[in-house]
Amino acid sequence: MRAPLIVIEGLDRTGKSTQTAKLCHRLNGFLVKFPNRETPIGKLLNQYLTDASNPMPLEVAHLLFSANRWEMVKNIEDLLSKGTPVVMDRYVYSGVAYSMAKGLDIEWCLAPDKGLPKPDVTIFLKANDLDSISQREGFGEERYEVASLQTSVRNNFEILRSRYDEWKVIIIDGKDIDQVHEHIWELVCPLTRGVTTGLNRF
Ligand code: TMP
Ligand code: MG
């Protein structure tokens, strides 16, 4: 028996941070946010994301986002095997969806993440109304918070959703924080008794 690995994905400003924190608290789990801006590689990524004049090639940025996940793998696997659920705020799918939106090929994008643990469930917080997202506080502060890019990222998430069967979608339009949380809980609850199968891999 091991604990579940749960991923919450979505565009910028869709409430992932709020929802992952709430879920983690209820599960008594461990929260992992990607990018993890505290690690050596995470610091480079933070610099890249907050300074639009940083000239890093997009392939390099992609590989750093992937390396940032590999930095955390040992930690995550140890927690799961000891029975602590892990909740992730973004993961492989953000890596692929954002880099594809900048023109990189899907298979190229997936390659460096090959071998990472696969989530038991991936919950996609989907906003049908993208205008309301771009009006949320803080939108536009970081490099990828541009409406046209977000539209493309959302389409790429749909491509990924059709490829991976652990995906579940929650439409967030018109729902408040607690309603979204309860919906997430319904999806996660069956996993709280523990998972009998080993971790799958990308
Ligand atoms: P954050 O807003 O969740 O902190 O993420 C920062 C930005 O990084 C966000 O616009 C999504 C983007 N991103 C990637 O481009 N590739 C990745 O692998 C990850 C995890 C995030
Ligand atoms: Mg963001």
What DSSP string describes 28-82? T-EEEESS-TTSHHHHHHHHHHH-TT----HHHHHHHHHHHHHTTHHHHHHHHHT
Q: What residue owns the CA closest to ligand 1's atom 17?
A: 95
Q: Which CATH architecture has domain 5-189?
A: 3-Layer(aba) Sandwich (3.40)
Which atom in ligand 1 lies closest to the alpha carbon of residue 98?
15
Question: In angstroms, rounded to a whole number, what is the distance separating the alpha carbons of residues 192 and 23?
Answer: 12
- Residue 133's pLDDT band, with cuts at 50, 70 and 90, is confident
196 CA from centroid of ligand 2 (Å): 34
Q: Which of these, 172, 181, 134, lies nearest to 21 by C-alpha position?
A: 181
pLDDT of residue 98: 97
pLDDT of residue 77: 98
Cα angle 157, 116, 13; round to 5: 35
Average pLDDT on 109-135 reads 95
Q: What residue owns the CA closest to ligand 1's atom 10?
A: 144
Each residue of 153-202: pLDDT tens digit?
999 999 999 999 999 999 999 999 999 999 999 999 999 999 999 999 99
The ipTM of this complex is: 0.98
- Residue 110's pLDDT band, with cuts at 50, 70 and 90, is very high
Q: What residue owns the CA closest to ligand 1's atom 5?
A: 35
Q: What residue owns the CA closest to ligand 1's atom 14?
A: 95
Each residue of 29-64: pLDDT tens digit?
999 999 999 999 999 999 999 999 999 999 999 999
**pLDDT, the chain, mean:** 97
pLDDT of residue 136: 87
- Probe residue for ligand 1, chosen from 33, 49, 137 as the CB with the greatest number of ligand atoms within 8 Å: 49
146 CA from centroid of ligand 1 (Å): 13
Furthest C-alpha separation in the chain: 48
